Amino acid sequence: MLRNLLDNAVRHAPAGTEVTVRVDREGPRVQVLDDGPGFAPDFVDRALQPWARADESRTRGTGGSGLGLAIAAGLVDAHGGRLWVEPGPGGRACFTLPDPYDRGGTPVPT
């Protein structure tokens, strides 16, 4: 799932810019950020649906099948987490996973 988010960020980020992965221990939450155009507000609600493409003129030969985010979201969901995207500017895809060290409210070791 992380590889898919990174591939998307690299594909859509302008040349010469950076893709950032930020990990926040609260959650834990992982964010993949880029300097690309980001997700259009009208695309955010359907971005995780199978076959969804922000640019409908794209085909598999010119940029993917539209399944990557849906598959990544399904994998995150299967592990008890949640994946979402946020509107631009800048690409922002985030996911949370349950903390494997948190056993029913036990403090997480630091």
Question: How does residue 53 score in pLDDT terms, banded at 50, 70 and 90?
Answer: confident
Is the pLDDT at 102 greater than 80? The verdict is no
Judge whether 18 lies within some domain.
yes
Q: In which residue are the tokens 């070791």 written?
A: 109
Which range of residues forms the domain containing residue 82? 2-96
Judge whether 45 lies within some domain.
yes
Judge whether 56 lies within some domain.
yes
Rounded Cα distance between 19 and 9, Å, is 6
Residue 68, pLDDT score = 87
Q: Which of 44-48, 51-55, 75-79 has the lowest mean pLDDT?
A: 51-55
Q: What is the CATH number of the domain that holds 37?
A: 3.30.565.10
Judge whether 107 lies within some domain.
no
Judge whether 60 lies within some domain.
yes
**What is the mean predicted confidence (pLDDT) over 14-24?**
93
Instruction: Supply the pTM of this predicted model.
Output: 0.76
Judge whether 26 lies within some domain.
yes
Number of structural domains (the chain) is: 1
